[in-house]
Copies of this chain bind each other. A is one copy, B any other.
């Protein structure tokens, strides 16, 4: 069994990985590190885990990160993983990082991200020499590079939904690179476990509100990934909204078609692009996409609608933000890193209702 260590074990992202690995036949969680709740058992922090895993949480630090581990998963904010990466890789321990630390292949790209992310605030990368060997963790686009990779940057939750929503159209040359609008809606768990005024139940319930209008950092990743597919800079406007659900992201994407394509042509392009993907479902016309159909699973459900006379393509892309948007895609990446079948431990049927 592979021994996995989770750094940031008490947040929702670390929790999601713990839950998944409880059912993985080849990987077991042997160490949980965090900066809060140190000394408590994880099942005290999360009572639903009682009887499944009761190991204590240890303090994250230079002496504990990577110790007795075959794999380290950083479910931590920006800046943590990059401070440990050099040492871990030198010791031969592969790592996956949930934050933006290793999503970008060059210092210039990272700098653009760091500038736009309010909690990074433009700080330079402390292990920038590793960026070139890091792989961005969207298996549908970078599967071959992920196989056997030692350093993977897990994508942002919104970026997964919008990149998968756009990739087939971009790769097929169906859309213009400018004037793309992405209207994102996320459940409150996307903000993490820490209570704050905007996520207080009476404030978030019965409310829908946009935030960081036009400046959300998650679109940087998509702009780069889609720009690479289109071999052209991409002009994209992204507005995220908080919606009163616990789990789920849906991105409604508006792009301009190069040609006034009919529904069939775009539908076929998407089905062909994602034909064999285990975790992308292209919905037939008339099937309503929505958060409920992917909850608890690693799926990305995509629907496409064309309005030929307007040269308009409308894409709806839904994921469970804590699964395909976080722990699920992370495990998919880890399976590729370690050579296990890509779907191992991810066969969960969505839970409905």
Q: Which A residues are within 8 Å of any B CB, using their own CB?
A: 12, 15, 19, 22-23, 44, 46-52, 179, 181, 183, 185, 187-189, 193-197, 199-211, 213-214, 235, 237, 239, 241, 243-248, 250, 252, 254, 256, 281, 283, 287-297, 301, 303, 305, 307, 310, 312, 314, 316, 322, 347, 349-353
Contact = CB atoms under 8 A, between A and B. Distances in A.
Copies of this chain present: 4
Given A206-B246, A244-B245, A48 B214 contact: no
A181 B181 CA distance: 8
Contacts of A207: 245, 248, 290-292
Nearest to A283: B47
A141 to B, nearest CB: 21
B293 A210 contact: no
A291 B195 contact: no
A350 B48 contact: yes
A206 B247 contact: yes
A150 to B, nearest CB: 29
A44 B296 CA distance: 19
A237 B312 contact: yes
A268 B179 CA distance: 25
Given A12-B202, A201-B205, A208-B290, 16 more contacts: A12-B353, A19-B352, A47-B283, A48-B295, A49-B350, A50-B283, A181-B181, A189-B353, A193-B200, A195-B196, A214-B312, A239-B314, A241-B250, A244-B244, A246-B353, A322-B353
B206 A245 contact: yes
Nearest to A249: B208
Contact of A201 (B201, B208, B301): B201
23 contacts: A12-B353, A23-B347, A23-B349, A44-B287, A50-B283, A179-B256, A181-B254, A185-B185, A185-B241, A187-B202, A195-B200, A200-B201, A205-B245, A207-B245, A207-B290, A207-B291, A208-B245, A208-B248, A208-B290, A235-B310, A237-B254, A243-B244, A246-B353
